[in-house]
A and B are shown apart, each in its own frame.
With several copies, the nearest count.
Chain A
Amino acid sequence: MERFPIIQIIDEEGNVVLPEYREKLTKELVMTMYYHLIRTRTFDRKCVSLQRQGRIGTYAPYEGQEASQVGSALALENDDWLFPTYRDHGATMTFGHSLVRILLYWKGRNEGCVPPDGKKIFPPSVPIATQLPHAAGAAYAEKRKGTKNAVIVYFGDGATSEGDFHEGLNIASVFHVPAVFFNQNNQYAISVPITRQMKTKTIAQKALAYDIPGIRVDGNDIFAVYFETKKALDRARNGEGPTLIEAVTWRYGAHTTADDPTKYRDQEESKRRRERDPIVRVERFLKQIGWWDEQQIKAMQEKVQAEIEQAVAEMEQFPEANPADMFDFVFATPTWTIEQQKQMYTSWRERA
């Protein structure tokens, strides 16, 4: 633990505790961050409410984790790769994913897995930790092609128990690839607390098993997340290999809308955690420094609202899923069994 102290740039009151960062916190940067923080939070809440109304399916909220997701995604360059989980649409939307497509994903539509042109955003990995080896391989390909692109891959505290976590990190370290392994330690894997997930007090220390840098940041401090991720990405680009980052955070809500957290944890805890809210913290900072402009903030909120409403409307007007898609994209050229099944099904439907 002592070896892996939590890096913090602003504390819960919004004070800059690492003064050397003070001047790096330009107004433009901080306002951009704040914008994405409220954009992601607004979107998340909208999704929860859409799910309650039955307008999308089961949804995995990230409220509380916005600093981790936004801060790390803002640290990326345009040509980098992003490998998310099902809970990282805060990161993908910040990196440039389309809101409509994210909504479609939660509506059970494959279109939700297709990133905007030129954006290297992989579909969310549902089987836990399986995306870590992918990230190692994609980073190897960038290295082989001689680019300066890096790869970031997201995963949770629970994911660290899977073999793929270990194999992915080991391979990345042996192949010395430009990848950042970004862990959001929200301290729960559904109902299982981190104390039953691992004996170690930190996730960062697992980097010692691969002889790569292990960094532990306050995942509710967007500045710490942003600068540490940037450093790790820079190391990656400079041929210094992979980094493991542990962002210590908390999800306020349920694991998914199908989950009932009252079954396994004290709801008071999540309320208390709001004291360390990643957004409130930036607001305090903005107010202290005198960059808080009620008008501007209001305009920002309205813009975000409008964008999200627009996306929801588009999602709901999106053409219905076409059963043919299920057959047509299994292989580049469908096999005869698939072709035959498609024809049978199509003619059967037409008959009925």
Chain B
Amino acid sequence: MTTTVKTNTLTLVQAVTDALRTMLREREDVLVLGEDVGKNGGVFRATDGLQAEFGEDRVIDTPLSEAGFTGAAIGMAVNGLRPVVEIQFLGFIYPAYEQIMTHAARIRSRTLGHFTVPMVIRAPYGAGVRAPEIHSDSTEALFTHMPGVKVVCPSTPYDAKGLLISAIEDPDPVLFLEPMRCYRAFREEVPEGKYTIEIGKGKRVREGEDVTVIAWGAMVPVAMKAAEEAAKKGINADVIDLRTLYPLDRELIVESVQKTGRTVIVQEAHATGGVANDLIALINDECFLYQKAPVERVTGFDVPVPFFSLEDHYLPTPDRVLYAIEKAVTF
């Protein structure tokens, strides 16, 4: 027996819309809310057409009030709905930080599971699109250090759809980070209808033995480019797209690093306090005797994400990654 699944060729942002539409159709309890998500379809068109299809009660334009509507979504989730909140840019999530930190993340443990918060917070993140200040933050680490929240960050249309559907079905709050730079960077075949990708599982996107390169979100294409360059120089990189930042895919990472003994991490965020350091800690714990070189990090700097005239200097580039790969391999 063969089943044919129809697919569409979608960009990442279209895959997000497709996931939302799929779940709004599938479950009455799902709703979408945020600034400009209604008629406007979101400033990136991620919710395009959804209000027309599902009505103003399920695709809700909120007041400009991140703490308020995130808090309201918590109340909705506790009371039987599955809200998917859009934060217009990750840099505007900070007013909602208290709500996420003290409530979304803690209501289950606070009540020993009596009340729960099955909600998703979606946010475009990252630099490289010439946006104004604060529109370019990649502060995922503020949420991985927040027990009670999962953090997901896809880099491809296919993964975006499958992971967003998993996030919506997840019984706990999920922060879903969408790399703006990948929104329309390329298209991919994306199956119609519902499918899921397990949260907590990374993906090996290139097979190699010489060095492990770990990246997520908008850094995955950067890492891949570097890996291809490295291949020309005879260095074969094992490239991992993390996809989930909390919990990390321990097996995949450990297996790869134990194989190669050399690691390069590519992170858009500031070096200090970033997820890369969680990876280094994991490698310290599990791969100490396998390491042939110190872990190399290619990261954003310990400076505020600069205004866009300088953002290309802030962002890791394939060249910088390649340099780090060579350093790791020749140590």
Contact = CB atoms under 8 A, between A and B. Distances in A.
B79 A141 contact: yes
Given A133-B67, A134-B74, A134-B103, 15 more contacts: A114-B112, A115-B114, A127-B94, A133-B75, A137-B73, A137-B78, A138-B75, A159-B64, A161-B63, A163-B68, A168-B71, A190-B43, A331-B148, A338-B147, A342-B301
A335 B130 contact: no
Interface in B96-148: 98-99, 102-103, 107-116, 130-135, 147-148
A144 interface: yes
Chain B facing A: main interface SS: loop
B148 A330 contact: yes
B302 A337 contact: yes
A289 interface: no
Contact of A110 (B38, B111, B172): B111
Interface string A170-203: 1100110000000000000111100011100000
Nearest to B300: A341
B68 A161 contact: yes
Interface of B: 31, 35-36, 38-41, 43, 57, 61-81, 83, 91-92, 94-95, 98-99, 102-103, 107-116, 130-135, 147-148, 150, 171-172, 200, 246-248, 250, 271-272, 301-304, 306-311, 313-314, 319-320, 323
Given A111-B112, A141-B80, A263-B39, A330 B304 contact: yes
Contacts of B35: 189-190, 192
B302 A341 contact: yes
Interface stretch (A3-11, A17-25, A245-253, A318-326): A318-326
Nearest to A159: B64
B63 A196 contact: yes
Given A141-B79, A338-B301, A57 B40 contact: no
Interface residues of A, number: 76
Interface string A335-351: 11110011001001000
Interface string A236-249: 00000000000000
A140 interface: yes
A138 B78 contact: yes
B40 A329 contact: no
A348 to B, nearest CB: 7
A130 interface: yes
A113 B40 contact: no
Contact of B131 (A58, A107, A337): A58
Given A133-B99, A136-B72, A331 B108 contact: yes
A107 B57 CA distance: 40
A229 to B, nearest CB: 20
